[in-house]
Amino acid sequence: MLWRLRTAGMFLFMTLLLMAIGALISYIVGADWMYGIVAMLIVSSFLCVFSYFGSKDMALKANGARIITEAENPRLYSVVRDVARKAGISMPEVGIVDSGMANAFATGRNPENAAVVATTGLLDLLPDDELEGVIAHEMSHVKNRDILVMSVASAMAVMITYVSRIAIFASMFNGNNRNSYAYIIALVASITVPIAAVLVQLGISRNREYLADKSGAEIIQNPRALANALNRLENGNQTVYSYTLNDQNARSAPSPAEDYDFAHMWIAGSPKKTGLTTRMFSTHPPMEERIRRLDEMAEKMGL
């Protein structure tokens, strides 16, 4: 319940930001401020509908994933089917991304229209029990409808950024500004509001990762398997990332699994070493904290 309230609060904050910018634009151009609020509510509703129906196909295409049959990879297909049964949800589609980076993601607006995707690097790296832990994490995203939540959050953050830019241009080129402070207000909003929106979006992403770790471990009743998998992913991906830094051919064709634009979708975020400031803009919680929480959970379960 706490996770849901926190996420709902973050979405409310983003909606209020969008409405405030709409009111500001109306004020700048001399219109009734209610027009701007209503317009932004309509825009945000459209974004939610568009994200609801289009998130799955866009995610698969953007990450270079291909849907497979059971005959193409019986091992992965079997693990996904077993975890779906334990989670009590429909069998999702199964996909693979050809990448040396060990990673996985799930997509789809609901459990009846979902896909779970793994990289070839993940399949090569993990034993069966740890692979099950990773798939359980992704299945939790499906069960909790996290993909829809993050798609809407991302779309709203982008829209807030664009609308704040409209506010600054409206104040610059509109000849009917109500007062001399309009430009200053719009300028400050265009700088601070997008940053606030992105921070909220990333906060939602980190919260959902913690939740997926916990609920995924509960599905398979083995937090230790997921903790070991995350530790192996952290070390293995650092090795792959270091290799790409020293190989021109690898750098010329980066894996979608290490592209920051899609990092929020994968179980492991960017393998780059980060400092305190960078972590504020991270799509994922620190891996060591995720592992620590899972280890504590395993100890409570007597594992």
Q: Which residues are catalytic?
A: 138
Taking alpha carbons only, the member of 50, 65, 51, 11 closest to residue 205 is 11
Q: How many other CB atoms are found less than 10 A from the CB of residue 298? A: 18
Alpha helix segments (H runs only) across the chain: 2-29, 33-62, 74-87, 120-125, 128-143, 146-173, 182-220, 223-246, 248-252, 276-280, 287-300
Taking alpha carbons only, the member of 122, 94, 109 closest to residue 52 is 109
Q: In whole angstroms, what is the distance from residue 79 CA to residue 82 CA?
A: 5
Q: In whole angstroms, what is the distance from residue 29 CA to residue 170 CA?
A: 7
Q: CB–CB of 208/143 below 8 Å?
A: no
Describe the crossing of helices 146-173 and 182-220 by its angle, rounded to 10 degrees: 170
Q: In whole angstroms, what is the distance from residue 71 CA to residue 277 CA?
A: 46
Q: CB–CB of 63/262 below 8 Å?
A: yes
Q: Is 102 helix (H, G, I), strand (E, B) or coil?
A: coil
Taking alpha carbons only, the member of 253, 256, 260 closest to residue 64 is 256
